[in-house]
């Protein structure tokens, strides 16, 4: 399948590399180099980052969930500012949009502005998730993908696809080349959370799951060559 406009989700951990927390510049630069090749080839790229390298809303029982989720959303804003700067240092044009005002640091999300920027070859970062507590960046990526009419959502994960059971626990786990979102839900396989799955299903947005550690994996997936699993949403 040939992609034109794609959303790439990078989990917080994907930015931290071996360190597991904070940032690993070499790891993020390796992502930037791959994204640049795809952008130079005419592919429009939107990025959503998680926040797990700093904070998860469920990190503390002592803190009100709404406030904890606000910290999580702000963590994704910091992540997008960081990744955007590395992308710029590799020669890409970037823009960061948020669903809430963050002073002069980001722009408020607008579909029209996002699409115009993407069409000009600017990588658009959708930071701050949905802007609401009790949601995840999975839901943020699904929502924005629907809004900007993305062809596909790419999930760079620590596993190289969707398996019928956990490959880390079961050596006989079988990887799917293709599977529908409905079957993912029926089999209770975790690709994205339930809310995000429903948005993808209703809006017919397929997802691709591949390994973050595959050489040139992000570039290949952005170009439509997925070495992993395609989750269909027909």
Chain positions contacting ligand UDP, by CB under 6 A: 11-12, 50-52, 56-57, 68-69, 72-73, 75-76, 129-130, 132-133, 135-140
Task: Decide whether 12 or 228 has the Cβ nearer to ligand UDP.
Answer: 12
Tell the smallest beta-carbon distance from residue 82 to ligand UDP (Å).
13
Nearest approach in angstroms of CB 215 to ligand UDP is 23
- 231 token code pair: 């989750």
Measured distance CA(37)–CA(172) in Å, rounded? 36
How far apart (Å, rounded) are the C-alpha atoms in residues 33 and 138? Answer: 24
Name which of 37 and 81 has its Cβ closer to ligand UDP. 81
Burial (CB < 10 A; 0-12, 13-18, 19+), residue 137, is buried
Taking the CA of residue 15 as centre, how many other CA atoms within 13 Å lie in the half-sphere pointing to its CB?
A: 26
Q: Answer whether 56's CB lies under 8 Å from 65's CB.
A: no
Q: How far is the CB of 174 from ligand UDP (least distance, A)?
A: 26
Closest to ligand UDP by CB, 69 vs 219, is 69
Strand 107-108: give its sheet, edge to edge: 107-108, 94-98, 123-126, 44-49, 5-10, 152-157, 207-211, 228-232, 178-180
**Of 139 and 223, which has the nearer Cβ to ligand UDP?**
139
Q: Choose among 134, 18, 4, 144: nearest CA to 80.
A: 144
Which is nearer to ligand UDP, 197 or 223 (by Cβ)? Answer: 197
């Amino acid at each position: 399948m040939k992609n034109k406009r794609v959303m790439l989700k990078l989990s917080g951990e994907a930015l931290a590399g071996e360190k597991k927390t904070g940032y690993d510049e070499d790891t993020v630069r390796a992502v930037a180099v791959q994204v640049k090749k795809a952008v130079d080839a005419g592919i429009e790229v939107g990025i959503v980052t998680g926040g797990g390298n700093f904070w998860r809303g469920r990190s503390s029982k002592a803190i009100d969930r709404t406030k904890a989720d606000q910290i999580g959303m702000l963590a994704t804003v910091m992540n997008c500012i960081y990744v955007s700067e590395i992308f710029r240092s590799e020669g890409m044009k970037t823009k960061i949009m948020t669903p809430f005002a963050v002073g002069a640091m980001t722009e408020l999300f607008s579909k029209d502005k996002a699409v115009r920027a993407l069409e000009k070859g600017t990588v658009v970062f959708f930071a701050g998730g949905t802007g609401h507590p009790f949601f995840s960046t999975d839901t943020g990526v699904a929502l924005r993908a629907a809004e900007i009419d993305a062809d596909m959502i790419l999930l760079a994960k620590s596993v190289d696809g969707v398996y019928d059971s956990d490959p880390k626990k079961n050596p006989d786990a079988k990887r799917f080349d293709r599977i529908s979102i409905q079957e993912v839900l029926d089999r209770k396989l975790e690709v994205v959370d339930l809310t995000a799955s429903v948005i993808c299903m209703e809006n017919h947005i397929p997802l691709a799951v591949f390994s973050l550690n595959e050489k040139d994996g992000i570039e290949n997936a952005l170009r439509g060559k997925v070495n992993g699993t395609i989750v269909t949403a027909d």
